[in-house]
Structure 1
Amino acid sequence: MTFDFASYLPSLDPTSLTGALELAVIYFLIGQVAALIIGRMFRFLVRHDTEGRVDRMTATFLKRIVQVLLWVFILTLYTKTIPALDKLGTALLASVSIASVVIGLAAQNTLSNLIAGISLVIYRPFRLGDRIQINAPTGLETGIVEDVTLGYTRLKTYDNRRIVLSNSLVSNQIMVNLTSVEPRVMALVPISIGYESDIDRARAIVLDVAAQHPSAEEVVGCPVTLLNASSVDMTLRVWCKDAGEAAGFRNDMLESVKKRFDKEGIEIPFAYQNVVLKGGSDQSPEKDKDRQDQ
């Protein structure tokens, strides 16, 4: 059954090509205005939510879903308005099941991303603005959630990189929400000293240098973590504001501790070898000993 548009606008004849094109323009403009109104309604809702009861990620995702359903409805209504398209839709109705299988197989990745995006919105493991840690194809990444679309999630890292991940990948990965647990990040800085160096004095120097760094929010300690073959290994543990601050703190500490150890006479061990050169049988052991290179 077709929608009798000509009874409301007699000048438009849906059975003619000109009338069908004019109706297509009208329906397109109606869809554009309706989509604009829906977008402004969602923005108004988020802007006036002073108590934070509406999640921005959920509102943005639902806005896109509603806009997609709106255009599907506009297209369906248009096909019902044009008699030729209505007959074509009736003729194709028998092959809908076959077409749906073909489309489902061709767009299974897209559909999986869409369903995964819906699950992310429903279960809300993170929100827009949260800092999460996730195993991406590039390795372990930490970033702020900037956007969740119908198919992809976009993260911004501390070095201003944009990582775009499919929703299915995000939903199937084990992620750590650093915002909901603890916004700070602990920086671990390995420090090695020689066996002849004073451990307590070296630790005091390291803690003093760490306390003076502007990125150090809380100095936890510097315990001995390993007795290595030629060194005593310690690990400095300091809380920093975020991953970017922690990375910069670690680099600064390695340089500052090296300079301070050189000034205070604390040995930083390095690998070396003893090479023994053996001569002929006529040479005495004393001469062989003299050839040793320490």
Structure 2
Amino acid sequence: MQDISIAPNGSELTEILNNLTFKEIVPIVIIAIITFLLTAAVYILLTYFILKLNKAIFKRIEKKRGNSITLQFLQKAIALLLIAVLVVLPLGGKQLARSLLGSTAVLAVIVGLAANEVLKDMFAGLEISIYKPFDIGSRIMLEDGRAGIVEKLTLRHVVLRLIDTTRVIIPNSKANQSIIVNYSYAEHVPRSFDVRFGIGYNSDIDKAKEIIRQTISECPLTLNKDRYKEDDPNSKSVYFLEITDSAIILGATIYYPHELRTEVVKDEVNTRIFKALCDNGIEIPYNYVNMIMKKENADD
């Protein structure tokens, strides 16, 4: 038995096309264009909905487990993988993959691309997401002295929000190789700084200490209230530090959350303590100089 084929071969198809008139070709071209556009639209919509679903899934995970640098990187990596799959499938799928992988020339290109900056940044981002030298919301300082809050990790770069809300974009490979100071590395330990205030020799020391302690505890930017225990001598928040030439120096350690700027907390705490001491009649001494002018005799 002979095989019967209803599809025209190459020569027959060429002959059919040569015999078509212009009026007959136009509808065929229009149908082909419409088919192509509809197919492209289907793939675009499919890609859009898959990426939206990917984002929604990670948003749900983020609500349960909190935002992290690992989740951000995974979301973008999976989105890139999905796009690659959706592009490869209509081009031949397995056959395309086999022909690409079987080509030594393409393999050489892949090896060459491994040294490319894009792939270096992607692999560096993967390392950052795994080992977490910093996380979303961490306050870090770069080697050049600039400090800010880590806002985002993409496949290529880290976004750092500086104190003045300026964004610094750091390539992942550079961030992964740099020495970075992370003020938020141990998040269970709050950040802190010390304040010192001088009071007059005749001031009521116990009253001044209580005013400072209460002012710090009532400040909404500090965590001192949660750390102070009245019965625990090790948890005292205000200390008599020293006596100087003109004042008794009282000091305290201020504890505050990682996400707050140090300058903002210092401003708020110092302003409140200064006003509280003045309002309660506690003298805040300052250095001054008495100048004695010697009047010379007119005969000299």
Is the 1:27–1:74 contact (alpha carbons within 8 Å) kept by the matching residues of 2? Answer: no
2:156 pairs, out of 127, 151, 157, with 151
Query: Which residue pairs with 2:122 in the alignment?
Result: 114
Unaligned runs of 5+ in 2: 1-8, 15-28, 229-236
2:276 pairs, out of 260, 282, 285, with 260
The reply on whether 1:133 has 2:134 as its aligned counterpart is no
The reply on whether 1:212 has 2:228 as its aligned counterpart is no
CA shift in 2, pair 1:112/1:233, >3 Å = farther
Q: Which amino acid is the alignment partner of residue 146 of structure 2?
A: G
CA distance in 2, matches of 1:132, 1:45: 24
Unaligned runs of 5+ in 1: 1-6, 12-17, 285-294
CA shift in 2, pair 1:111/1:278, >3 Å = farther
CA distance in 2, matches of 1:64, 1:229: 67
RMSD between aligned alpha carbons? 5.0
Query: Which residue pairs with 2:192 in the alignment?
Result: 186
Is the 2:73–2:129 contact (alpha carbons within 8 Å) kept by the matching residues of 1? Answer: yes
Deviations 1:139-196 (A, max 9, x none): 232x2x4421111122456875544333234323335373862274435433222445
Query: Which residue pairs with 1:176 in the alignment?
Result: 182
1:42 pairs, out of 54, 61, 83, with 54
The CA deviation at 1:276 is 4.9
The SS at the match of 1:131 is coil
The CA deviation at 1:117 is 0.7
The SS at the match of 1:178 is coil
Query: Which residue pairs with 2:172 in the alignment?
Result: 167
The CA deviation at 1:43 is 3.1
Q: Superposed, which structure 2 residues align to 1:233-248 within 5 Å?
A: 233-244=249-260, 247-248=263-264
CA distance in 2, matches of 1:280, 1:229: 33
The CA deviation at 1:132 is 0.7
The reply on whether 1:273 has 2:289 as its aligned counterpart is yes
Q: Which amino acid is the alignment partner of residue 43 of structure 1?
A: K
Is the 1:194–1:231 contact (alpha carbons within 8 Å) kept by the matching residues of 2? Answer: yes
Is the 1:216–1:239 contact (alpha carbons within 8 Å) kept by the matching residues of 2? Answer: yes
The CA deviation at 1:116 is 1.4
The CA deviation at 1:28 is 6.2
The CA deviation at 1:236 is 2.5
The SS at the match of 2:282 is coil
The CA deviation at 1:223 is 1.7
The CA deviation at 1:216 is 4.0
Query: Which residue pairs with 2:81 in the alignment?
Result: 66
Is the 1:135–1:173 contact (alpha carbons within 8 Å) kept by the matching residues of 2? Answer: no
The CA deviation at 1:135 is 0.8
Q: Which amino acid is the alignment partner of residue 168 of structure 1?
A: S
Q: How many residues align?
A: 254
Larger radius of gyration: 2
